[in-house]
Amino acid sequence: MFSIDALPRTDVHDSARPLEAQITASPGRFRVLTGDRPTGPLHLGHYFGTLANRVRLQRAGVDLFIVIADYQVFTDRDGVTGLSDTVHDLVLDYLAAGVDPDTTTIFTHSSVPALNQLVLPFLSLVTVGELQRNPTVKAEAQAAANGHRGLSGLLFSYPVHQAADILFCGGNLVPVGRDQLPHIEITRLIARRFNERYAGGRTVFAEPEAMLSEAPVVLGADGAKMSKSRGNAINLSDDEDRTAAVIKRFRTDSERTISYEPQRRPEVAGLLDLAALCLNRPAAGLAGELGNQGSAALKALVTEAVNEHLRPLRQRRRELAGDRAQLSRILAEGNRRAVDIADRTLNRVRAAMGTTY
């Protein structure tokens, strides 16, 4: 039977030791909250950028929570279709990559009422100006203005919702890319202000820390960062033939000799990086071995490396895909755990705020 300690986890901060050493020595001190918005299948950029790191942390014995941030999908689009399939496919990607649902909690935040209720007290702790200054909100507001659209209230407040995702379960470590750092800052601000304003300085919420990953940037077919919206991605769920077809489309240059020069030859370097990640070997060494064989040989190497690396994952994915009921059960169990924790957190919040009647 899965059971979770009461909140809060203590602050992580222990500047005397590097974070990785702390994780190895005492994984039980860490609760990692991380997540994705369910907008489509995961690709190699997600895999090498975050997913592999999550599985690594899980295997190190860290308590891992993965939020499927379904409400966030509604922030910037009018209608959303097929969300249930997208969410099930996301769970499939997680499990295939090695996420273990017995120890890791996978949940959809729309299924956890008390998590969402935290958004209201949290909104009372930030100003409109602070939200306007959040870089993502600012960029989205600008894009909306340029397109003569309105900015939804949900988008405007989404950093606060994200704070609720993290704080409801006492997450104290959040692996993020640089672009998400301002959200962690708002989360810390909310935790601090809650403790000061509503809890007389007691720690109801510990301030989480960002775990900045030196995750590699994976480039896609057009030489830009791999992303679903650019249509340049290799998905985990693609089969080997489709993977080969996408890699054929990757841009290269006309120089016959393969060399690893990220500044001068970014597309060739991007392909070498991908092979290097899959083979766990240095990119420059691979370039040296290819010598003057040209980009066809480079692409053959990358195709083989990617397909080989993903073979066990894809095999597991196919096996699990046949049993949708099992995926639903896993989500239901994750949601049940999240509801249990969120209810307890909301009770503490109610007690602190004096809203118990």
Interface positions with ligand TRP (CB under 6 A): 33-37, 67, 69, 72, 162, 165-166, 174
- Which token pair is 247? 């890699």
E strands, the chain, are 31-36, 63-68, 105-108, 173-176, 209-212
Output 157 or 162, the one with its CB closest to ligand TRP. 162
Residue 48, phi-psi category: left (phi > 0), alpha (psi -120 to 50), beta (remainder): alpha
* Distance, CA of 189 to chain centre: 22
- Distance in Å, CB of 36 to ligand TRP, minimum: 5
- Distance in Å, CB of 174 to ligand TRP, minimum: 5
SS3 119: helix
In the chain, how long is the greatest CA-to-CA distance? 77
351 near 115, Cβ under 8 Å?
no
- Distance in Å, CB of 80 to ligand TRP, minimum: 15
Output 37 or 299, the one with its CB closest to ligand TRP. 37
- Distance in Å, CB of 37 to ligand TRP, minimum: 5
Output 33 or 287, the one with its CB closest to ligand TRP. 33
Output 110 or 237, the one with its CB closest to ligand TRP. 110
Phi, psi of 269 (to 5 degrees): -65, -40
CA–CA separation, 140 vs 142, rounded Å?
5
Output 210 or 279, the one with its CB closest to ligand TRP. 210
- Distance in Å, CB of 76 to ligand TRP, minimum: 11
- Distance in Å, CB of 260 to ligand TRP, minimum: 30
Using a 10 angstrom Cβ sphere, with 0-12 exposed, 13-18 middle and 19 or more buried, the burial of residue 296 is exposed
Smallest CA-to-CA distance from 175 within 207, 205, 208 is with 208
SS3 114: helix
Output 160 or 204, the one with its CB closest to ligand TRP. 160
- Distance in Å, CB of 149 to ligand TRP, minimum: 20
List beta partners, residue 64.
32
User: Quick one: three-class SS letters along 298-337?
Assistant: HHHHHHHHHHHHHHHHHHHHHHHHCCHHHHHHHHHHHHHH
- Distance in Å, CB of 242 to ligand TRP, minimum: 25
Output 67 or 233, the one with its CB closest to ligand TRP. 67
Output 37 or 265, the one with its CB closest to ligand TRP. 37
